[in-house]
Structures are given as structure tokens and as C-alpha cells.
Chain A
Amino acid sequence: SQTIHQWPATLVQPVGSPLSLECTVEGTSNPNLYWYRQAAGRGLQLLFYSVGIGQISSEVPQNLSASRPQDRQFILSSKKLLLSDSGFYLCAWDPPGEKLFFGSGTQLSVL
């Protein structure tokens, strides 16, 4: 069966520190992968999406970057975190014939 894994579940980081969030999908090949962010009490905003290895599209200008080093791996990074980077980050993917399933999310608090 197909599953999506995202970690860590929670993360507390100081301002100016680096960030690396990882997402992997199992049971499929060449999935479309996405990073969304949810600010407190609000809807989700698409940050990045990838249709293949090394192919990254950014939806909004920001302090974050994404990479796809392997077919089923999607990484969200930052060199120096800002307070405004705090939020709930969700990885997602498109199963064949379906539309968007989400990982369990990472709550990032930048202090």
C-alpha cells in the first residue's frame, strides 16, 4: 500500500538556525510531491511542488527552499530560520487517480 511519512512531528528551533524537514512516500514511483504551510488558525498555503527528481517549483517567495534528491524524498530547508517561519508544515502527494493526500505534519516553532 502507499503511505507518506513526514518527520519530525514537532520541532523547536532558535531564530537563525538551519532547518531540514523530510518527507518520503512508499509504495509508488515518480509521485508529485508538495509542501504546504498552515499558519495558526488559518488555511493551507502551497509552498513548493515537485514533479520529479531535481524539479522544484516555488509558489511564494520566502526564506525556505525545497529539494528532491530521490524519487520519493522531498526535503524542506532553510539556512537561517525567521520567527515568521513558525507554522504547521504538511507534505502531500498525488496517488494515481486521486487528488492529494497529506502526511501527518510538522509543527515548527521558531523562538
Chain B
Amino acid sequence: AQTVTQSQPEMSVQEAETVTLSCTYDTSENNYYLFWYKQPPSRQMILVIRQEAYKQQNATENRFSVNFQKAAKSFSLKISDSQLGDTAMYFCAFISGTSYGKLTFGQGTILTVHP
């Protein structure tokens, strides 16, 4: 079974600075996808970024980028130029390439951006 671990229950950062959220996972599969979801106080789950395991290039979406280390099974999220609206719970998630939407989630990291 796959597991996803987020070892940082809470993080904080000053506005305009950079922060990195950690995620590790465990799987025996070679074909899979990794995601970061953002859950603001509204509790809406918002897809931030995704990474296909077969791609060596790290995914980037505007101020959000990942550091995907497949051999180490690590998938960290870097948020540059942090904004107050980035304050949220962030979840790392894994899905097998052969599965449907059966995501395995980490426990989440609460990120607070301070003005």
C-alpha cells in the first residue's frame, strides 16, 4: 500500500518570502502521479500542481514549483513570493497511474503567511 508523509504539521513565512513544504511517499510502483492540493479556510480543495513520475523535469505553476526526487521518494513544494492568500492547509497526494481517482493523502501542513 502507498503511504504519504508530511512531517511538518505547521509552517509560517513572511509575505514575499519563500517557503518549502516537505512530502515523502512510499510505493513500489513506477507509474504514478503526485499532487499538491491547497485547502483554504473555505475548505475548498484546490489543485496547486501535479507531477508525473515519468517526467524528470520538475513541474512549475507560476509561484509554485516542486522538487521531485524519485529515487528518494521526495516531493517538496516551494512557494515563492508568498502572499497572504497562500495561507491554507496544504496536502500532498499520490495516485497510482493504473488507478482511478483513488488519491492517498498526507496529513497536511498548515501554512500561515504573515504580513
* B44 on interface, CB distance cutoff 8 Å: yes
Interface residues of B: mostly helix, strand, loop or mixed?
Answer: loop
Residue with the greatest number of chain A CB neighbours at <10 A, chosen from B33, B101, B107, B108: B101
Which residues of B are in contact with A by a Cβ distance under 8 Å? 33, 35, 42-47, 50, 91, 95, 100-103, 105-108
From A18-26, A73-81, A85-93, the one touching the partner chain is A85-93
Q: Which residues of B contact A51 (CB under 8 A)?
A: 100
- Which residue on chain B has the smallest CB distance to residue A33? B101
Q: Which residue of B lies closest to A106 (CB)?
A: B43
* A contact face: mostly helix, strand, loop, or mixed: strand
* Interface size of A in residues (CB-CB distance below 8 Å): 24
A102 to chain B, nearest CB (A): 4
> Which residues on the A side are within 8 Å of B50 (C-beta)?
99
